[in-house]
Amino acid sequence: MTIAIVLIIAYLLGSLPTSYIVVHRMTGRDIRDLGDGNPGMMNVWDSVGLLAALIVGFGDIGKGMAAVSIAILTDAHEIAPTLAGLTAILGHDYSIFLLLDGGNGMGPAVGAICALAPLAAAPAAAVTIVFWLILGSRRLAGSIGLLLVPGLAYITSNDPSVIAGVVACLTLAALKIIRFEGFTPARSRIEQ
């Protein structure tokens, strides 16, 4: 399979509007009309509840994992897994099914990182859960966990392409979050 086909599949996977589908099936409403309008897991959690958010979260993470896994299995090119992860994130952020609207890309980024560097992702996820329980802030705990991943990827794999892929996926998702939320307290959910 060529890298172009892998990337098309990755974009289409990323474009699946998980939050829109789940919220519409559960409530009959469009997630973009609820809460902060972002069709992502955090807004689903805030607007619809934990069960819907968990379904969306698993779906979004699964999209990133599937895209990277397909690239790894097809052995299209050494850089293909990273490009597939980035493309799935872009598909999530600019979904063809939502007329180029989408979430912040953190779910598919986490999924891509899990597939690229599973030995780094697992302890980072554990740290995230511990910090969430201690601090009570989803965003701050998630940020701490994600910041640990590049270092853990270096320790567990020492493969430059894996480390670069992890950093690229985190950077792309972070840029979208900053663009959507900014750094002002009025727009940031850092306290949640």
What angle (nearest 5°) sits at the alpha carbon of residue 63, between those of residues 14 and 92? 25
Which amino acid, 154?
Y
Count CB neighbours of 183 within 10 A: 8
For 79-92, what is the HEC assignment?
CHHHHHHHHHHHHH
Average pLDDT of the residues of the chain: 85
Indicate the range of 23-27, 100-104, 123-127, 178-182 predicted with least confidence.
178-182
Residue 46's Cα: distance from chain center in Å?
Answer: 17
Chain segment 37-66, per-residue pLDDT in tens? 888 888 898 899 899 999 999 999 999 999
Q: Locate tokens 């919220």: which residue?
A: 23
Q: What is the pLDDT of residue 8?
A: 95
Q: Locate tokens 């992502």: which residue?
A: 40
The per-residue b/e assignment along 37-67, b for 16 or more CB within 10 angstroms, e otherwise, is ebbbbbbbbbbbeeebbebbbebbbbbbbbb
| DSSP class of 101 | B
Residue 148 corresponds to which tokens in the numbers above? 């640990």
Please answer whether residues 18 and 165 qualify as being in contact, where contact means their C-beta atoms are separated by less than 8 angstroms. Answer: no
Chain segment 143-152, per-residue pLDDT in tens? 888 888 888 8
Domain layout of the chain by residue ranges: 3-181
Average pLDDT of span 135-162: 83
